[in-house]
């Protein structure tokens, strides 16, 4: 790909990656990728999981060394031996997982690695003053003296950005920055990004949220299986075209049409309270019901009680008080196995700890929890032949990409591990399905398959409680949406005509009436 | 009442400070490794090696300070080997620590046999003990309270004066800050170009320095002799205190004083004719019970992580089974 010399010269580009190739063993993560980012633009990089986005950014930032290819900054070739070189050259990276030290203050975190010292001792006061000044200049409000452990993720991200700015970054790389934010926080972030670009800085933005890419970026580069398949001005692409470039086929984002159902109540939760691991109240007076053939969505920013709700309902966490009746039986005093016997199937939010035994085979994992039943048990012993037969069927039906039923689960990709959990839980003929984060870490193609399977369960008359931090997933699937904030249900929204802004405000703790006004 | 007053008086406090000093020194040393995220149960061995070589050094050089230098050097060698195995070769820290403890125990015994031809202990032979420092005018100003501040060996003063310096070190110096960051959030350190390896080596060696001083204090402080296994579990006590204090200097001091008090108290009790083996267990029981009661609610991260690392080790997982750096 030659730069079109008519309108721009090499020096107009803040960052150029030319022919970058990176292999991990036999796997080629980046295959001759070209990426040119103009100074002063917001350049989005999109692609499925495993398309090579993070690898490419790690190469640019010096965390990985490319096997082939060249990096140029402002037209001159550079070698990124390690991140300190990149930082010196004016690059700054805000990682997907924040790297802040919880016991230190905001200012200490911002200046970590470049402390202001006087007489050999760290000058905390000067650091705090500089942090406050910087946060005012860039509109990133923080309290410099607060300990990071006490702050929300939205503010943690601001601190990460301040860290980058204080090191003099002119090009800022943001790796899936909105994954942990509420829609309002995301919007504030976009405003910050735009002000950076207007100030002549360059922003590289990795995302798989295409609405956001369309909203904020000037140019978009699409990666697919390690290759850069297109670089276009964002205005020339719509969402469907981007997806087609990403997965090489059409994917539907439409809310599936569905018959109205009026099934009987399967789960009735009344006045439920529970505490989290630190003994703080995590659920406060939660009441709702789930009917047969209905998907009830729980929306909320992670950490507002959803995890605890799932744990209480699956028998993993004792509640403080309240009732939960499943198929006419109070389940709150039951053990996890007994709750399952009463009709629950549970797809846990953290699949590696509670969903699978990573060191066991696919066949074992697909059997777990039902080894006492036919066809897995025969004459009091496990029937491994039957287990293998069952597994082969499920591997096929759920499109689990593996070598066979004896493959170790840990060796699979995140999306395929999730499919193992779904394959087990969706075939338990349970009357109530508790699904926590069905598509976490799963790419767009596989997401669609999982969504279809959830809709199939609904059609079969299963009552479904769907917990997700991805609002668009809930808006697509849920019949009713309950919004959780700080352990309470802020309100219920009808899935058919839910408004993203209204739900977003409720996720941030605004009451439904006010949210409706504001949105 | 009479029993109480004969038990609790200035002499008891003085004895407490004296018995606290060695464990405080070794625990402060361990504070470096604890803060840097290394679970160091090799303190006992470093201290024992320090004690033995301090005696050797004082005989060779004819000076107590020569002895202290030798003791510190020996402990540093142990600390360096520990760091080499744990930090560079990523061996399991519990296994390495235990191995070095056993090595120190065996090595001191066999060297004693080889050099002095004796078993059990080295006494006399020209060992020079550390001098006691008399603070000027202490007796005139404080009268009978003077022994509280005056007349200790130098390492006692060093131990207690180190505590505020440690607080300052962790709060206001760059190295102190980096040690904390490396222990609490290594990813953060790495992302900022702080070398985790280097910081952990430094922490290990600083730990060796203090463990060596503690050992020298044992064998050249109030008694000038070396006996087999003379650290007698103080290094392990320090490990316990470190776990419960998370390496915070002030809490380390509190824990060590508690142990020192119980130790001094048990020495007193012996004069009342209780069976000595029971009484010798008193300090350990008191300290452990108190520490456990104090901190059960707030079990620090280090315990959980160590338990995890032990579990991983026992499962003998190969290192390459960890998920590799992938792209998203």
Q: What is the pLDDT of residues B161-190, one digit of tens each?
A: 999 999 999 999 999 999 999 999 998 888
Q: Which helix (H) or strand (E) holds A311?
A: helix A306-313
On whether both A93 and A176 belong to a single domain, the answer is: yes
The Cα-based distances of A40 to A7, A12, A198, A201, A207 in angstroms read 15, 9, 7, 5, 19
Would you call B328 and A97 a contact, using CB atoms and an 8 Å cutoff?
A: no
For the record, the structure tokens of A266 come out as 């399967």
Which residue in A21, A101, A108, A353 has the most chain B C-beta atoms within 10 A of its own C-beta, making it the best mutation to test that interface? A101
Residue A232: per-residue pLDDT: 92
DSSP of B207-273: HHHHHHHHHHHHHHSSS-EEETTTTTTHHHHHHHHHHHHTT-HHHHHHHHHHHHHHHHHHHHHHTTT
Q: Does residue B203 have a pLDDT over 90?
A: yes
B321 is a domain residue:
no
CA B293 to mean position of chain CA atoms: 22
Q: Measure B313 CA to nearest chain A CA, in Å.
A: 15
Contacts of A447 (CB under 8 A, 6+ apart): A439, A473
Would you call A83 and B174 a contact, using CB atoms and an 8 Å cutoff?
A: no
A470 is a domain residue:
yes
- In this complex, the residue of A52, A100, A117 whose CB is nearest that of residue B188 is A100
On whether both A309 and A160 belong to a single domain, the answer is: no
DSSP of A432-451: EEEEE-TTTT--HHHHHHHH
Residue A351: per-residue pLDDT: 83
- Burial level of B74, CB count in 10 A (0-12/13-18/19+)? buried
Residue of B nearest to A81 (CA): B193
**Shortest CA distance to A172 belongs to which of A129, A140, A126?**
A140
Q: What is the SS3 assignment for A78-144? A: ECCCCHHHHHHCCEEEECCCCCCCCCCEHHHHHCCCCCCEECCEECHHHHHHHHHHHHHHCCCCCCC
A1 is a domain residue:
no
Distance CA A55, CA A71 (A): 14
Residue A280: per-residue pLDDT: 83
- Burial level of A254, CB count in 10 A (0-12/13-18/19+)? exposed
Q: Does residue B318 have a pLDDT over 50?
A: no
Residue of A nearest to B193 (CA): A84
On whether both A18 and A125 belong to a single domain, the answer is: yes
3-state secondary structure at position B300: coil
Residue B308: per-residue pLDDT: 58
Residue A439: per-residue pLDDT: 84
Residue of A nearest to B185 (CA): A101
On whether both A468 and A506 belong to a single domain, the answer is: yes
- Burial level of A76, CB count in 10 A (0-12/13-18/19+)? exposed
Is there a contact between A42 and A234 (Cβ–Cβ < 8 Å)?
no
Highest mean pLDDT, choosing among A192-196, A277-281, B9-13 = A192-196
Q: With contacts defined as CB-CB under 8 Å, which chain A residues touch B173? A: 120-122
- In this complex, the residue of B180, B193, B327 whose CB is nearest that of residue A52 is B327
Q: Does residue A5 have a pLDDT over 60?
A: no
Q: Single out the residue in A367, A399, A429 at which a domain terminates.
A: A429
**Shortest CA distance to B50 belongs to which of B297, B281, B218, B256?**
B218
Examine residue B273 and say whether the peptide bond preceding it is cis (omega within 30 degrees of 0): no
Residue A239: per-residue pLDDT: 80
Q: Does residue A97 have a pLDDT over 60?
A: yes
Q: Measure B152 CA to nearest chain A CA, in Å.
A: 31
Would you call B328 and A84 a contact, using CB atoms and an 8 Å cutoff?
A: no
For the record, the structure tokens of B33 come out as 């490794």
Would you call B327 and A113 a contact, using CB atoms and an 8 Å cutoff?
A: no
Q: What is the mean pLDDT of residues A118-125?
A: 92
Q: Measure B227 CA to nearest chain A CA, in Å.
A: 43
Residue B298: per-residue pLDDT: 52
Q: With contacts defined as CB-CB under 8 Å, which chain A residues touch B168? A: 121
Q: Does residue B315 have a pLDDT over 80?
A: no
Angle at B75 between CA B69 and CA B78, to 5 degrees: 145
Strand partners, A18: A70
Average pLDDT of chain A, as a whole number: 87
Residue B144: per-residue pLDDT: 73
A319 is a domain residue:
yes
A2 is a domain residue:
no
Confidence bin at A131 (pLDDT 50/70/90): very high
Q: Decide: pTM greater than 0.90.
A: no
B322 is a domain residue:
no
Q: How many CB pairs under 8 A join A and B?
A: 75
Would you call B177 and A112 a contact, using CB atoms and an 8 Å cutoff?
A: yes
Percentage, residues of chain B above pLDDT 90: 50
Residue A372: per-residue pLDDT: 83
Using the structure block, give the residue that is written with the tokens 């002095």.
Answer: B116
- In this complex, the residue of B181, B321, B327 whose CB is nearest that of residue A101 is B181
Q: Measure B188 CA to nearest chain A CA, in Å.
A: 5
Q: Measure A113 CA to nearest chain B CA, in Å.
A: 6
On whether both A410 and A329 belong to a single domain, the answer is: no
On whether both A364 and A469 belong to a single domain, the answer is: no
On whether both A277 and A301 belong to a single domain, the answer is: yes
The Cα-based distances of B310 to A272, A353, A433, B230, B322 in angstroms read 38, 18, 37, 29, 16
Q: Measure B326 CA to nearest chain A CA, in Å.
A: 7
Using the structure block, give the residue that is written with the tokens 């799932």.
Answer: A310
Residue B175's CATH number: 1.10.3470
Q: Does residue A28 have a pLDDT over 90?
A: no
Range of the domain at A411: 352-429
Angle at A310 between CA A306 and CA A311, to 5 degrees: 115
CA pseudo-torsion sign A296, A297, A300, A302: positive
Q: Single out the residue in A395, A429, A463 at which a domain terminates.
A: A429
Q: Does residue B2 have a pLDDT over 60?
A: no
**Shortest CA distance to A482 belongs to which of A496, A459, A466?**
A466
For the record, the structure tokens of A235 come out as 């205005």
The Cα-based distances of B51 to A105, A207, B47, B159, B306 in angstroms read 41, 60, 6, 16, 28
Residue of B nearest to A58 (CA): B327
Which residue in A21, A98, A112, A166 has the most chain B C-beta atoms within 10 A of its own C-beta, making it the best mutation to test that interface? A112
> Percent helix, strand, coil in chain A (nearest 5)?
35, 25, 40
HSE-up of residue A366 (Cα within 13 Å, Cβ side): 32
**Shortest CA distance to B108 belongs to which of B66, B130, B78, B69?**
B78
Q: With contacts defined as CB-CB under 8 Å, which chain B residues touch A95? A: 191
Q: Measure B275 CA to nearest chain A CA, in Å.
A: 45
Q: Which helix (H) or strand (E) holds A347?
A: strand A344-347
Distance CA A409, CA A437 (A): 19
The Cα-based distances of A174 to A157, A164, A190, A206, A239 in angstroms read 10, 11, 11, 6, 21
* pLDDT tens digits for range A450-477: 898 899 999 999 999 999 988 888 999 9
* Helix residue ranges per DSSP H, B36-173: 43-61, 64-83, 93-116, 138-142, 154-172
Q: With contacts defined as CB-CB under 8 Å, which chain A residues touch B174? A: 115, 117, 122
Give the residue with greater pLDDT, B18 vs B137: B18
The Cα-based distances of A411 to A49, A379, A514 in angstroms read 16, 33, 48
Domains in chain A, number: 3
Strands A117-118 and A121-122: antiparallel
Q: Measure B169 CA to nearest chain A CA, in Å.
A: 9
Q: What is the mean pLDDT of residues B83-89?
A: 95
For the record, the structure tokens of A234 come out as 């964002």
Would you call A122 and B172 a contact, using CB atoms and an 8 Å cutoff?
A: yes
CA A126 to mean position of chain CA atoms: 37
Residue B53: per-residue pLDDT: 96
Residue A95: per-residue pLDDT: 82
Confidence bin at B316 (pLDDT 50/70/90): very low
Q: Measure B20 CA to nearest chain A CA, in Å.
A: 29
Strand partners, A44: A205, A220
A36-45, A59-68, B162-171, B318-327: least confident range? B318-327
On whether both A404 and A458 belong to a single domain, the answer is: no
Would you call B327 and A51 a contact, using CB atoms and an 8 Å cutoff?
A: yes
Would you call A101 and B191 a contact, using CB atoms and an 8 Å cutoff?
A: no
On whether both A450 and A513 belong to a single domain, the answer is: yes
Q: What is the mean pLDDT of residues A325-352?
A: 90
**Shortest CA distance to A100 belongs to which of A152, A63, A139?**
A152
Q: Does residue A292 have a pLDDT over 60?
A: yes
Distance CA A463, CA A342 (A): 13
Would you call B173 and A113 a contact, using CB atoms and an 8 Å cutoff?
A: no
Give the residue with greater pLDDT, A497 vs B254: B254
Percentage, residues of chain B above pLDDT 70: 86
Would you call B324 and A24 a contact, using CB atoms and an 8 Å cutoff?
A: yes
- In this complex, the residue of B181, B188, B193 whose CB is nearest that of residue A83 is B193
A3 is a domain residue:
no
For the record, the structure tokens of A145 come out as 């003296």
Range of the domain at B292: 2-316
CA A398 to mean position of chain CA atoms: 22
On whether both A518 and A391 belong to a single domain, the answer is: no
Domains in chain B, number: 1
Q: With contacts defined as CB-CB under 8 Å, which chain A residues touch B191? A: 83, 95, 99
The Cα-based distances of B49 to B34, B55, B104, B231 in angstroms read 21, 10, 6, 9
B280 is a domain residue:
yes
Is there a contact between A267 and A324 (Cβ–Cβ < 8 Å)?
yes
Q: What is the mean pLDDT of residues A379-385?
A: 88
Residue B325: per-residue pLDDT: 39
Q: Measure A95 CA to nearest chain B CA, in Å.
A: 9
Would you call A101 and B185 a contact, using CB atoms and an 8 Å cutoff?
A: yes
Residue B302: per-residue pLDDT: 55
Would you call A99 and B185 a contact, using CB atoms and an 8 Å cutoff?
A: yes
* Helix residue ranges per DSSP H, A26-82: 53-60
Residue A101's CATH number: 3.40.50.300
Q: With contacts defined as CB-CB under 8 Å, which chain A residues touch B188? A: 99-101, 109, 112
The Cα-based distances of A101 to A34, A108, A156, B33, B232 in angstroms read 35, 9, 10, 18, 37
Residue B286: per-residue pLDDT: 75
- In this complex, the residue of A49, A102, A115 whose CB is nearest that of residue B174 is A115
Is the ipTM, as predicted for this complex, more than 0.90? no
Give the residue with greater pLDDT, A374 vs A366: A366
Q: With contacts defined as CB-CB under 8 Å, which chain B residues touch A441? A: 328
Confidence bin at B42 (pLDDT 50/70/90): very high
A178 is a domain residue:
yes
The Cα-based distances of B317 to A359, B313, B322 in angstroms read 10, 7, 9
Q: Single out the residue in A429, A450, A477 at which a domain terminates.
A: A429
**Helix-then-strand count for chain B, H and E:** 14, 2
Average pLDDT of chain B, as a whole number: 84
For the record, the structure tokens of B281 come out as 């267990």
Confidence bin at A187 (pLDDT 50/70/90): confident
B27 is a domain residue:
yes
For the record, the structure tokens of A470 come out as 């991805």
Would you call B191 and A83 a contact, using CB atoms and an 8 Å cutoff?
A: yes
Q: What is the mean pLDDT of residues B134-163?
A: 84
Is there a contact between B46 and B79 (Cβ–Cβ < 8 Å)?
yes
Q: With contacts defined as CB-CB under 8 Å, which chain A residues touch B177? A: 104, 108, 112, 115, 122
CA B25 to mean position of chain CA atoms: 5
DSSP code for A197:
H
């Amino acid at each position: 790909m030659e730069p079109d010399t008519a309108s721009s010269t090499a020096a107009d580009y803040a960052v150029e990656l030319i022919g970058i190739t990176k292999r991990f063993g036999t796997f080629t993560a980046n295959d001759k990728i070209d990426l040119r980012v103009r100074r002063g633009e917001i350049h989005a990089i999109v692609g499925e999981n495993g398309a090579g986005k993070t690898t490419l950014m790690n190469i640019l930032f010096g965390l990985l060394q490319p096997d082939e290819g060249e990096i140029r900054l402002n037209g001159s070739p550079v070698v990124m031996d390690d991140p300190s070189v990149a930082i010196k050259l004016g690059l700054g990276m805000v990682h997907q997982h924040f790297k802040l030290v919880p016991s230190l203050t905001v200012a200490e975190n911002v200046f970590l690695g470049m402390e202001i010292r006087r007489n050999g001792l760290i000058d905390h006061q000067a650091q705090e003053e500089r942090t406050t000044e910087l946060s005012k200049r860039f509109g990133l409000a923080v309290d410099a003296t607060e300990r990071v452990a006490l702050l929300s993720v939205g503010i943690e991200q601001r601190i990460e950005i301040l860290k980058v700015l204080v090191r003099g970054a002119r090009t800022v790389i943001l790796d899936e920055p909105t994954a942990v934010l509420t829609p309002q926080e995301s919007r504030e972030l976009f405003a910050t990004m735009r002000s950076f670009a207007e100030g002549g800085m360059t922003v590289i933005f990795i995302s798989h949220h295409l609405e956001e890419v369309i909203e904020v970026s000037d140019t978009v580069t699409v990666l697919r299986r390690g290759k850069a398949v297109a670089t276009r001005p964002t205005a020339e692409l719509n969402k469907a075209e981007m997806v087609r470039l990403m997965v090489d086929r059409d994917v539907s984002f439409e809310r599936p049409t569905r018959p109205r159902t009026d099934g009987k109540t399967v789960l009735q939760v009344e006045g439920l309270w529970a505490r989290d691991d630190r003994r703080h109240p995590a659920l406060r007076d939660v009441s709702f019901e789930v009917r047969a053939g209905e998907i009830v969505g729980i929306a909320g920013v992670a950490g507002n009680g959803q995890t605890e709700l799932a744990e209480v309902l699956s028998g993993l966490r004792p509640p403080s008080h309240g009732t939960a009746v499943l198929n006419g039986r109070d389940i709150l005093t039951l053990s996890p196995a007994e709750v399952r016997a009463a009709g629950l199937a549970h797809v846990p939010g953290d699949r590696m700890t509670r969903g699978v035994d990573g060191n066991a085979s696919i066949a074992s994992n697909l059997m777990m929890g039902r080894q006492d039943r036919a066809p897995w048990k025969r004459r009091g012993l496990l029937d491994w032949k039957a287990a293998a037969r069952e597994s082969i069927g499920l591997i096929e039906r759920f499109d689990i990409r593996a070598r066979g039923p004896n493959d170790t689960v840990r060796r699979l990709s995140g999306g395929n591990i999730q499919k193992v959990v779904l394959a087990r839980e969706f075939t338990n003929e349970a009357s109530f399905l508790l699904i926590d984060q069905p598509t976490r870490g799963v790419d767009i193609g596989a997401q669609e398959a999982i969504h279809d399977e959830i809709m199939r369960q609904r059609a079969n008359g299963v009552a479904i409680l769907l917990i997700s931090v991805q609002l668009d997933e809930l808006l697509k699937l849920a019949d009713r949406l309950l919004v959780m904030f700080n352990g309470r249900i802020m309100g219920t929204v009808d899935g058919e005509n839910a408004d993203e802004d209204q739900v977003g405000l409720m996720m941030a703790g605004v009451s439904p009436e006010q949210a409706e006004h504001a949105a | 009442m009479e029993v109480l007053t004969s038990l609790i008086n200035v002499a008891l406090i003085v004895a407490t400070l004296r018995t606290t000093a060695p464990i405080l020194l070794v625990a402060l040393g361990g504070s470096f490794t604890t803060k840097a995220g290394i679970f160091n149960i090799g303190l006992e061995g470093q201290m024992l090696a320090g004690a033995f070589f301090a005696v050797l050094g004082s005989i060779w050089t004819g000076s107590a300070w020569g002895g202290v230098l030798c003791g510190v050097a020996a402990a540093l060698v142990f600390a360096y080997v520990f760091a080499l195995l744990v930090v560079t070769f990523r061996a399991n820290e519990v296994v390495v620590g235990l191995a070095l403890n056993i090595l120190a125990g065996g090595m001191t015994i066999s060297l004693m046999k080889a050099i002095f031809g004796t078993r059990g202990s080295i006494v006399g032979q020209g060992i020079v003990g550390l001098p006691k420092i008399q603070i000027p005018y202490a007796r005139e100003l404080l009268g009978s309270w003077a022994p509280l501040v005056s007349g200790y060996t130098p390492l006692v003063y060093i131990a207690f004066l180190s505590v505020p310096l440690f607080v300052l070190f962790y709060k206001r110096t760059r190295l102190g800050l980096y040690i904390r960051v490396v222990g609490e959030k290594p990813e953060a350190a790495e992302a900022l170009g702080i070398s985790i390896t280097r910081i952990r080596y430094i922490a290990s060696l600083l730990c060796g320095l203090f463990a060596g001083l503690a050992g020298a204090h044992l064998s050249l402080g109030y008694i000038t002799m070396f006996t087999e296994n003379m650290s007698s579990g103080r290094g392990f006590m320090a490990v316990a205190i470190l776990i419960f204090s998370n390496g915070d200097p002030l809490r380390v001091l509190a824990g060590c004083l508690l142990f020192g008090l119980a130790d001094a108290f048990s020495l007193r009790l012996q004069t009342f004719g209780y069976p000595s083996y029971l009484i010798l267990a008193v300090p350990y029981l008191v300290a452990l019970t108190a520490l456990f009661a104090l901190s059960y609610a707030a079990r620090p991260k280090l315990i959980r992580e160590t338990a995890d690392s032990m579990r991983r080790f026992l499962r003998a997982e190969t290192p390459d089974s960890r998920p590799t750096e992938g792209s998203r």
